[in-house]
Structure 1
Amino acid sequence: MAMSFDPFSQLDRIAQTIFDTSRQPRMMPIDLFREGAEYVLHADLPGIDPGSVDVDVDGHLLTIRAQRSAGSHESSRWLVQERPYGAYLRQFTIGDDVDAERITASYDNGVLTVVIPIAERAKPRKIAVESATESSRDTGQKAVSA
């Protein structure tokens, strides 16, 4: 099987070398949705050591950090190296409607799941509407009609 030379991939690799961004935190793709009484965030972090994942809340800021190491391939001659390594970082502003004390996180099959419960005070609630007639019956008084 012969390998063909692709000049565009070579240019891409040269550009990555010149504009090396490995020192800057990398973005992680996410899905965020509301399901019932909670927000659910899924972040793709394949190949990440679960021990390097850090999720914290500081006021209204939810921060997710993770680290993927390059591995030890000192004696190897790279042919293609497209899988990024280094620090990953995402930050989200959360509102007053969440219960920050009950946020949970789990990591499974390369996906970090963060569950953010909605605070009781922020959940919609039904308010009973009483008529003046019902109200006067409860107090034993007669309703005054106009």
Structure 2
Amino acid sequence: MKYYPMFDLFDDFFTGNTTSDVMKTDIVEKDGNYEMSMELPGVKKEDIQMELKDGYLKVTATHGSNTEDKDEKGRVVRKERVSGSYSRSFYVGEGIHQEDVKASFDNGELKIVVPKEAPKQIEENKFIPIE
């Protein structure tokens, strides 16, 4: 059985994390990359942060709503919109660097491309000066 580091079968099951219900993510393996499509409806681009640390890619999104229905006395009659901060982490590998990850955001969908394997470092020829 081949191990895919991006997938953890126990990701949300044992932690009771319901963030994946909000940040639904599809992951496809294509052309040597993992292509992730994450639903973030109602979130603005400037409210999304991505961090790569110790092989984990963490995506955090903040969603706020200041709109409330109030009656004539200023009491909230109904507030159905959710506001808060959500995050998900994916293990992408120790060898992946920040510059290897590409991301774009359009119409409530965050698209992330992560190389399946860390790019190989090409050793440059370094000439030693002779004195």
TM range (shorter): 0.5 to 0.7
Tell me how many residue pairs correspond in the alignment. 96
Deviation at 1:84, TM superposition (A): 3.0
Deviation at 1:71, TM superposition (A): 2.1
Deviation at 1:96, TM superposition (A): 4.3
Paired residues of 1:99 and 1:117 also in contact (CA < 8 A): no
Give a deviation string over 1:34-58, Cα, whole Å, max 9, x none.
1112111111000002101001101
2:110 alignment counterpart: 112
2:56 alignment counterpart: 61
* Matching residue within 92, 115, 118 for 1:94: 92
Unaligned runs of 5+ in 1: 1-23, 122-146
Unaligned runs of 5+ in 2: 1-16, 71-75, 121-131
1:34 alignment counterpart: 29
Give a deviation string over 1:70-124, Cα, whole Å, max 9, x none.
223152622x72x432111100111246454220111111011111124344xxx
Larger strand proportion of the pair: 2
Measure, in 1, the Cα distance between the counterparts of 2:18 and 2:66.
Answer: 18
Which structure ranks higher in relative contact order (CA pairs < 8 Å, sequence separation ≥ 6)?
A: 2
Measure, in 1, the Cα distance between the counterparts of 2:100 and 2:114.
Answer: 7
Paired residues of 1:98 and 1:117 also in contact (CA < 8 A): yes
Q: Which amino acid aligns with 1:26?
A: T
Distance 1:101 1:38, change over 3 A: same
Deviation at 1:25, TM superposition (A): 8.0
User: Normalization by structure 2: what TM-score?
Assistant: 0.62
Q: CA RMSD in A?
A: 2.4
> Structure 2 matches for 1:1-146, cutoff 5 A?
26-27=19-20, 28-73=23-68, 75=70, 77-78=77-78, 81=80, 83-96=81-94, 98=96, 100-118=98-116, 119-121=118-120
